[in-house]
Chain A
Amino acid sequence: MNRRTAIGILTAFGLFAAFGLAQSESPAPQILTVSGDVPSPLQLKADDLAKMPRETVSVQEEDGTKVQYEGVPLREVLARAGAPLGKELRGRALASYVLAKAHDGYQVVFGLAEMDASFANESILVADKRDGKPLFGYQGPFRLVCPNDKAGARSVRMLETLEIVRLRK
């Protein structure tokens, strides 16, 4: 096998691996799923989020653009599903995390303590509006906004699923 053939095979494998991920040319579904190791899994629509406690955060993007996102604090969404927060977030529960999955397969992780009021108390938002308008296209209908993250990589766009994982029970 010569070098170019080997490279070709590896490239083809890489392309197959990439293609094997979720394809994302279609808009994300209008439902946010909260699942995993929680007593009350949820299927949330924009109407459901509209009835929950809401916050607005201002974010300056790297190019200087200033935008306002509106939505529900992530801790509120997780609490509604019964994730261990507040007084329950102690001991083994501290080894729990949220796996946020995007429509295109992108995934990031948050420790539960990051957003709990007794710990880091981060204002991570499940946003459904940007500058007063519903999120659409590559942003929506739901996305995470992490205003205190220096990089934007955990502000997951086209958010589809929040999966709670308890490593120790």
Chain B
Amino acid sequence: MRRVLLTLSRVAFLLWQALPVPAADGGQTYAWNLPKGFPKPYVPADNPMTAAKVELGRYLFYDTRMSVNGKASCATCHKQELAFTDGRAVGIGATGEAHSRSAMSLVNVAYSATLTWSNPKMRLLEDQAIVPMFGDHPVELGLREGDGFLPMLRSDPKYRQLFATAFPAEKDPTTITNVTKALACFERSIISARSPYDRYHYGGDDSAVSESAKRGEILIFSQQISCFRCHGGFNFSDATISESNPGREVEFHNTGLYNLSGPFSYPPPNLGVYEFTKSGADMGKFKAPTLRNIAVTAPYMHDGSISTIEGVLDHYAAGGRTIDSGVNAGIGHDNPNKDRLIGGFQLSARDRADLIAFLRSLTDEAVLRDTRFANPW
């Protein structure tokens, strides 16, 4: 009987995986199809999810005409096969200008309490989208007010149809505000919940992950390693919110990645929350990103300065990174702002292998290939 029940649960899980988001009601509704254990994401009241807005957002997300020179789109720094990161230490904009920080994954961004690495005030994707579109420092997409972007959208038959369907009540729906709303809806739709870990933890499939990964999960949540204190919950991030708890206070963390002498213990311009509050106590504090799909989102940390998962484990095991020479030399372990939870720990070779096996079990191959999130052009 247990085996039958197990098989039925697996079939149910596979069926859930295969379900498309139905475009009922002319695309004016949206079904999340969330699995057990995943709460409904928070969505701002003035931009409810609809299938039509998600679809418009997907076209915009992959459209290189949304850049100053036609060379970049959102997808340039957020590639689906890399869990919507770009594989670079720092992002490169349309004009070749380098960003100072690493492109964050957009997977499960619907659950992010704050956006970007360290801006405590940036809470809505609709607001965040403006930054890469029109920002100067650095130039990402390089759009300018009054350039040909909106006229291009209005002249394109596909976009005329997409905007009209997404915003049926508006006489002229082709606006920057609606562009950001559609992009936000598309980004919120990118939910990762089909990893081997999910099949094991939520789907009841005991064989979905290795025994090593199971030991790794226990380690992650153990008192000794304590990764869960910043990377806990279903989304493995303490900056996670949902519909029923949208106002969660977010903690940012200085992990002892640097400890420079001089006025700033972290290398400018990446000073963490300090950039926004100018409070010394916020120096070097960044958001704990989700661990989901971490195996495909290298390099790591806010500035991409650690190239491998093994290197990240070394950093935390030492309770902070020591850089022996160069402009960033310093003992991160001693950073005065370091989070008290970053105390260091010892890993045996088996512990290390178990942790990595667990982290790899969080890779959701389905979300990396899901046609709903792929380039429609």
Contact = CB atoms under 8 A, between A and B. Distances in A.
B319 A14 contact: yes
A24 B242 contact: no
A24 B346 contact: no
Contacts of B39: 63-66
A102 B238 CA distance: 22
Interface stretch (B44-52, B88-96, B121-129, B215-223): B215-223
Contact of A4 (B244, B318, B331): B331
B287 interface: no
A138 B222 contact: yes
A18 B346 contact: yes
Given A60-B245, A63-B233, A106-B223, A15 B215 contact: no
B215 to A, nearest CB: 4
The interface residues of chain B, by DSSP majority, are classed as: loop
Contacts of B234: 63, 65
Interface in B224-280: 224, 233-235, 238, 240-246, 248
B245 A63 contact: yes
A14 B344 contact: yes
A5 interface: no
A104 B42 CA distance: 35
A158 to B, nearest CB: 8
B6 to A, nearest CB: 11
B353 to A, nearest CB: 11
Nearest to B240: A63
Interface residues of B, number: 43
A27 interface: yes
Given A64-B243, A66-B39, A7 B331 contact: yes
Interface string B195-229: 00000010010000000001111111111100000
Interface string A56-76: 000011111110000000000
A147 B217 CA distance: 24
Nearest to A67: B37
A2 interface: no
Contact of B248 (A15, A62, A102): A62
Given A63-B245, A64-B242, A64-B243, A14 B224 contact: no
Contacts of B201: 137
A63 B235 contact: yes
B111 interface: yes
B234 to A, nearest CB: 6
Contacts of B339: none
A108 to B, nearest CB: 11
Nearest to A27: B218
Contact of B223 (A4, A14, A16, A104): A104
A131 interface: yes
A134 to B, nearest CB: 11
A129 interface: no
A148 interface: no
Interface string A123-163: 00000000101000110000000000000000001100000
B218 A137 contact: yes
Interface string A73-98: 00000000000000000000000000
A138 B218 contact: yes
Contact of B218 (A24, A105, A133): A24
10 contacts: A11-B333, A14-B344, A24-B223, A26-B218, A27-B218, A62-B240, A64-B245, A65-B39, A131-B37, A138-B218
